[in-house]
Structure 1
Amino acid sequence: MAIWVFLFRTKKKHPAAIYMANLALSDLLFVIWIPLKIAYHLNGNDWIYGEGLCKVLVGFFYGNMYCSILFITCISVQRYWVIVHPLSQQRKNNQIAIAVSISVWVGIWLLTTPLYLYDQTVKVRDLNILTCHDVTRQSQAKVASGYFITMGILGFVIPSMVCIVAYILMLQSLRNSVIDENISKKRKKTVVLIITVLVLFLVCFTPSNIMLLIHYCLLLSGVINNGYGFYITTLCLASLNSCLDPFVYYFISEEFRDNVKNTLMCRSARTVERMRVSFSALKYSKKSSTYTSDSGNTESSNC
């Protein structure tokens, strides 16, 4: 629904819509493969779909998580830019947003490529199961540790710092601005965006990435990590971002809110536009009638 709204129902394409469409596409690609993950855990962590699908599942899982973080970071920076530079050229900003989106996809594809280069399935003979990404071979421990620590820093730590700086500068800009109705509305939208993104980071991304960094640091040090239950819980929380991302669309995009409301109320956009035009004409007609009545030329009439 979000992709449909941002690509086909949004009249004026703006950078936020471009970033949110990419964020929705990332979630869709993740959701396509999540049934295999569910089936894997329901089957007692026994993977029966082959090495290739295991690699695809792992690649899309981490690709979605870091794509979501980067596109949310892009949305945060874009909101800062709109508040600080409200008169910047729209067309140029759209071109920048498209270029940044392509760069994010290419960067994530390059970062997740190593996941396809080594075996993700490991046979656990004591339990007679074939795990998918849950067990790391001893021969691959150093490579996997270095890779995921790098991913955690590039994909989580740095974007988190960028978001924090953008929000601080945003709030400072709004605080230093002359207080009027428009600034007040922008401030409310900014606060809502900050709260929504903070919830996303604190609930979805922070636990999983901290656990990821701890796990692979311990693995690199040769220490056995017995926190598998907590590890699975944090991965579930990371998957939850696909459920919470629509709240970002809802609070940022007025057109998304309108289309969601119209869809839930079984109204088409064309019907809503006709209602809006009719209501505007009705208000204009009443004002005109009242004006002519006051001037003494004609009597006011009911529509």
Structure 2
Amino acid sequence: MELNDSSRVDSEFRYTLFPIVYGVIFVLGVIANGYVLWVFARLYPSKKLNEIKIFMVNLTVADLLFLITLPLWIIYYHHQGNWILPKFLCNVAGCFFFINTYCSVAFLGVITYNRFQAVTHPIKTAQATTRKRGISLSLVIWVAILAAASYYLVQDETNSVPNKAGTENLTRCFEHYEKGNVSVLVIHIFIVFAFFLVFLIILSCNVVIIRTLLAQPVQQHQTAEGKRRALWMVCTVLGVFIICFVPHHMVQLPWTLAELGYYTSFHQAINDAHQVTLCLLSTNCVLDPIIYCFLTKKFRKHLSEKLYSIRSSRKCSRVTTDTDVVMSLHQMPVAPLKN
């Protein structure tokens, strides 16, 4: 663990922002993704999962991996950016953050390509046996990203910085880049350009999907509903990318250059923006389950039935309560009127 200088900029608002945002995301994300896995386990036996559902399950697992580390980050930011936990947990938290980010990008990418094939070549896609391809692609994605993420497990990613309060040093987690480190810069350039390449492919596929769907004549209500659902799915995937991933990768390269000392202008502003984009990046764990509603009919039907039963039970309980009150009033003895 190295001792870092105190000249590094800090965004102190993050010590309030991250515990709140991560706390909300942890609760909502665990509920949403846990429910998704529970529904898939009930509705779809593993042997009946097709390609798209295999990708969805893997995306959910990637989200849950990140969610289980959020309490670690909440503790870290609550203690003013001081890692008080065992050092290996810092490595695990950073590793799972990387896995979630790029597994999400990869699986959203293959989901989009799957829908692109279904819209542009519907007969060929319907006839294809896609389960094996889904498993194979998922394995390739996991192996590639786990191999890349393993780097974060073997390096010591903690460093010490002086405490402004004048007490003992603070232990930072994943917050130290050696000035002028060219290899770190090359890695970040590769990651950012690879992301935007994937994003351009996804954007192109979605534009083709939208144009194809809008060009198709609507002959019946069922067709119109399916088209509307497909369009909403496209918009949701694009929305997740634009809200969660694009801002972070737009800021990542300028932030890396500033951290390495190559570009020091507006360092504080860039660092502030970087903290906000990290919060946006983590919201994909909550937004991903929304996509599933537009992808699978059974999932949507099951969710609708559950929501309807909850509303019905509330109405019944209200009616029962009101009836009991009315009956109680009728059963009350009437006092004689006094002149």
Task: State the TM-score bracket (shorter-chain normalisation).
Answer: 0.7 to 0.9
Q: CA deviation at 1:34?
A: 0.8
| Deviations, residues 100-147 of structure 1 (Å, cap 9, x unaligned) | 1111111111222222333211100254211111232337x3232222
Say which SS state the counterpart of residue 138 (structure 1) adopts.
coil
Q: Which of 1, 20, 24 is matched with 2:56 structurally?
A: 20
Is residue 249 of structure 2 the alignment partner of residue 198 of structure 1?
Answer: no
Q: Aligned to 1:81, which of 117, 134, 151?
A: 117
Q: What residue in structure 2 maps to residue 96 of structure 1?
A: 133
Amino acid aligned to 1:195: C
1:213 maps to which residue? Answer: 253
The letter for the 2-side match of 1:232 is Q
Question: Residue 204 of structure 2 aligns to which amino acid in structure 1?
Answer: V
More displaced stretch, 234-243 vs 219-228: 219-228
User: d(CA) in 1 for partners of 2:228 and 2:196?
Assistant: 27
Equivalents in 2 of 1:78, 1:6: separation in Å?
19
- What is the CA–CA distance in structure 2 between the aligned matches of 1:147 and 1:18, rounded to whole Å? 30
Q: CA deviation at 1:245?
A: 0.8
With the length of structure 1 as denominator, give the TM-score of the two structures: 0.80
Residue pair 1:145, 1:217 contacting (<8 A) in 2 also: yes
CA separation of 1:50 and 1:223: change in aligned 2, threshold 3 A = farther
- Report the Cα distance in structure 2 between the residues aligned to 1:190 and 1:201, rounded to whole angstroms: 17
Once the two structures are superposed, what CA deviation does each residue of 1:152-211 show, in whole Å capped at 9, x if it has no partner? 222x21221111121122233334444423553343122201211122111111111111
Map residues 257-268 of structure 1 onto 2, 5 A cutoff: 257-264=300-307
User: 2-side partners of 1:51 and 1:13: how far apart?
Assistant: 39
| CA 76–173 in structure 1, closer or farther in 2 if over 3 Å, else same | same
* SS in structure 1 of the partner of residue 197 of structure 2: helix
1:97-176 equivalence runs, <5 A? 97-127=134-164, 128-138=169-179, 141-154=181-194, 156-176=195-215
Q: Distance in 2 between matches of 1:119 and 1:222?
A: 24
Alignment root-mean-square deviation, CA = 2.2
Q: 1:41 to 1:259 in 2, by over 3 A?
A: same
1:248 aligned to which of 275, 291, 316: 291
Output the CA distance in 2 between the equivalents of 1:132 and 1:199: 30
* Same amino acid, percent of matched pairs: 26
* Offset at residue 229 of structure 1 (A): 2.4
Distance 2:238 2:207 in 1: 13
Q: Show the counterpart of 2:40.
A: 6
Q: TM-score, normalised by structure 2?
A: 0.72
Query: Cα deviations across residues 191-247 of structure 1 (Å, max 9, x unaligned)?
Result: 201211122111111111111122123445622332332211111110011011111
Residue correspondences, number = 265
Q: Is the 8 A contact 2:66 2:96 kept in 1?
A: yes
Which sits farther off after the overlay, 180-189 or 52-61?
A: 180-189
Q: Which runs of 5+ in 1 are unaligned?
A: 268-303
Partner of 1:59: 95
- Aligned partners of 1:33 and 1:220: how far apart in 2? 27
Q: Which residue of 2 aligns with 1:185?
A: 225
Whether contact under 8 Å (2:119, 2:212) holds in the other structure is yes
Query: C-alpha distance in 1, partners of 2:253/2:150?
Result: 19
